[in-house]
Structure 1
Amino acid sequence: MSSSVDKSSGTQSLLTGQNIVYAGIAWAVVSMLFFLLFSVKAPGEDYPFWYSFSTYLLECLPFLGAALLCYRNWRSPQIASGRNVWLGIGLGMFFYFIANLIFGIWELYFSLDPDVSPADFFYVISYICIGWGMILAVLPRRLNLEWKQWLTVGLIAALGIALAVWVLLAPPVAIESEAETSLWLRTEQATETPSPLLVASTVPQVAVSPTELAVVTPTAEAPEATNLPSWVISLDKALSPLSRTLNFVYIVFDVFLLIIASTLLLAFWGGRFAQSWRMIAAATFSLYIADMGFKVYDALAKARGQEYESGGLLDVFFIFSAVLFAIGAALEYDVSSRSRRSSRRRT
């Protein structure tokens, strides 16, 4: 019995707020250096497998750690901001971890880069859970903000909405116009300068039989699709039409979390629990930067006829977000424990 108590006390001594802050800073610095050193690649080349796997590892572990720390807060009866607050945020961290695992399998194992994957289902749930937890943190507090603070929240909301409108409306027009231009150029070239092979094909002696064309054409269209399971191909085709809808849902959630984070940052600016909630607000800002930065970069890449590959420098903000959520949960636990012990001493 005493050995189990010693083990639990030893674990608690390691999971202090100071140790978790140091570990989180170290993890963020190592991740930043890793991305700065290895994220640059030659044009037209893909990231190697070891690099992509390492980025998933650097991102998944902080989300799992943040989920466990939020679970500790939920189990603690002395947590000051409310247990359900950390239940919502912890579930959001856990579902984000599951989504990253699924997307990693989809991208690394199946070598797919779809607009929609089964991981998006868990990403949406994670956003809902994080928003639910942050709303529960704001509702019990009386938001006696000054007019300058409300003006700051309004300006942040206006900028977030403006960027969201640009992402939703501007890129499709650019992509469509470029696609129409390339189609028009191909049509003009086909009508004005016929190919010599097309002229030569009119000679009966060198004509290619239809059976030979039937054999050659399918293998040239999708040589890699035959290696995938049938259920993966059918699921990918079924989810692909949801791309536009999911993109809109993500942007709405991003703007909503941005507004909630701004309100939290101003509402918890002073007091004993200000430091932990500043970390939570900074974590939400990092998540917004990573998510919206990805959408803007992907839109610009598609407008140039390219595709965005995960593993770019912007992905480090996902790691920052998970680390800041973990630090915020640890600081909240420490402050709540100290305030409870000090109140007992006074009594």
Structure 2
Amino acid sequence: MSSTSEKSSTSQSFLSAQTIVMAGIVWAVLSLLFFLLFSVPAKGEDLPFWYVIGTYVFELGAQLAAALLCLRNWRSPQIVSGRNVWLGIGLGVLSYLIGNLLFGCWEVVWGLDPDVSLGDVFYIAAYFLLAWGMILAVISRRLNLEIWQWAVLAAIAAGGIALAVWVATPANKLTPAAINPAATEQVATSVAPTAKAPKAPAIKPTAKPADKTPAITEDEAEEETAAPAWVQALDKQLEPFAYPVNLFYIIGDVFLLIIATALLLAFWGGRFSNSWRMIAAATFSLYIADMWFKYAETRIQGEYQSGSLLEVFFVFMGVLFGIGAVLEHDISTRTRRPGRKQRG
């Protein structure tokens, strides 16, 4: 019996709130160092394959731990903020994790870069689930903000909307030379004054000039991508949904940003303020990472490679969600723990 009690106490101390929080901080610091050291490739070279795999390991590890910790809160009847709150957040993080796994298959395994993939289905579901859980948390607090808090909420909402609109707008104000140098050169040549040259005798072409670039057949293209036929067919079917999906992400990021700010203000100074500060910070991290990803797609010239420095905020999102769940569980179990009865 004594050995069993010692094992249980050891496991409880190993999974204590302080230990999990410290593990999350260490994971975040290691991921930041990893991104800082290896996110900038040598000039003219792509990011190494092992680095891309490492970014997925850091992101998926943090999100998996966060999903398990949030679902642990859902299973605990002592959670003060409500079990359904953490069910929504836990399922949202888990859905985001599945979306990352599928996106990793498209990008790493098959070498594809589609506008819309099967992973976007789970990303969209994650937004709905996270919003559901966070709205339940706001409703439970019966939001009653002061004037300065409403002003802060309005300012953050306006700034978030402005940034999202600016990032999502393609950079179409470039010079014509940057957009199509060949066309600009052709127009400049035709407009510039030149001396008249004598006409050369017309030579009738005997045969059509051969194209110097060899044609690539469909079989060769499939072999280059190494993707199954059903994946390529699915990409073609999902391609028309690229614009509405990207628009949904912009609206969803701004909406979650507003809800996170409302949560931060609603729990300001209360017993559970620390846990919900972490949840708000996790949502801000998701917003920053998504805005950077959208900025890279619309405004960075050339083909963008995933794994840049600001994508470390995807790791921070998982770490902060997990820390928030741990702090909520710890204070709920401590405040609801029955005291010892004193005899006579």
- TM-score, with structure 2 as normaliser: 0.87
Tell me the percent identity. Answer: 56
Distance in 2, Cα, partners of 1:145 & 1:23: 35
Task: Map residues 145-294 of structure 1 onto 2, 5 A cutoff.
Answer: 145-168=145-168, 170-171=169-170, 173-174=172-173, 181-182=180-181, 184-185=183-184, 188=187, 204=206, 207=207, 216-219=214-217, 223-226=220-223, 227-294=226-293
Is 1:328 matched with 2:317? Answer: no
Q: Which moved more, 1:234-243 or 1:67-76?
A: 234-243
Superposition deviation, residue 146 in structure 1: 1.0
Distance in 2, Cα, partners of 1:130 & 1:215: 50
Task: Please give the secondary structure, in 1, of the residue aligned with 2:140.
Answer: coil
Task: Please give the secondary structure, in 2, of the residue aligned with 1:310.
Answer: coil
Q: Evaluate the alpha carbon distance shift between residue 215 and residue 182 of structure 1 in structure 2; reply closer, same or farther with a 3 A threshold.
A: closer
Contact 2:176-2:184 at 8 Å conserved across structures: no
Q: Please give the root-mean-square deviation of Cα atoms over the aligned residues, in Å.
A: 3.1
Distance in 1, Cα, partners of 2:151 & 2:49: 47
Task: Map residues 30-45 of structure 1 onto 2, 5 A cutoff.
Answer: 30-45=30-45
Distance in 2, Cα, partners of 1:161 & 1:318: 20
Distance in 2, Cα, partners of 1:255 & 1:236: 27
Q: What is the number of equivalent residue pairs in this alignment?
A: 332
Q: Evaluate the alpha carbon distance shift between residue 307 and residue 8 of structure 1 in structure 2; reply closer, same or farther with a 3 A threshold.
A: farther
Superposition deviation, residue 11 in structure 1: 3.4
Superposition deviation, residue 126 in structure 1: 0.8
Distance in 1, Cα, partners of 2:177 & 2:276: 45
Q: Evaluate the alpha carbon distance shift between residue 260 and residue 172 of structure 1 in structure 2; reply closer, same or farther with a 3 A threshold.
A: same
Superposition deviation, residue 203 in structure 1: 5.3
Q: Evaluate the alpha carbon distance shift between residue 42 and residue 115 of structure 1 in structure 2; reply closer, same or farther with a 3 A threshold.
A: farther
Contact 2:264-2:277 at 8 Å conserved across structures: yes
Q: Which moved more, 1:6-15 or 1:68-77?
A: 6-15
Superposition deviation, residue 140 in structure 1: 1.5
Structure 1 spans left out of the alignment, 5+ residues: 193-200
Superposition deviation, residue 149 in structure 1: 0.7
Task: Map residues 83-98 of structure 1 onto 2, 5 A cutoff.
Answer: 83-98=83-98
Amino acid at match of 2:289: A
Amino acid at match of 1:104: G
What is aligned with 1:51? 51
Distance in 2, Cα, partners of 1:92 & 1:334: 22
What is aligned with 1:318? 314
Task: Please give the secondary structure, in 2, of the residue aligned with 1:218.
Answer: coil
- TM-score, with structure 1 as normaliser: 0.86
Is 1:142 matched with 2:138? Answer: no
Contact 2:70-2:89 at 8 Å conserved across structures: yes
Q: Evaluate the alpha carbon distance shift between residue 111 and residue 274 of structure 1 in structure 2; reply closer, same or farther with a 3 A threshold.
A: same
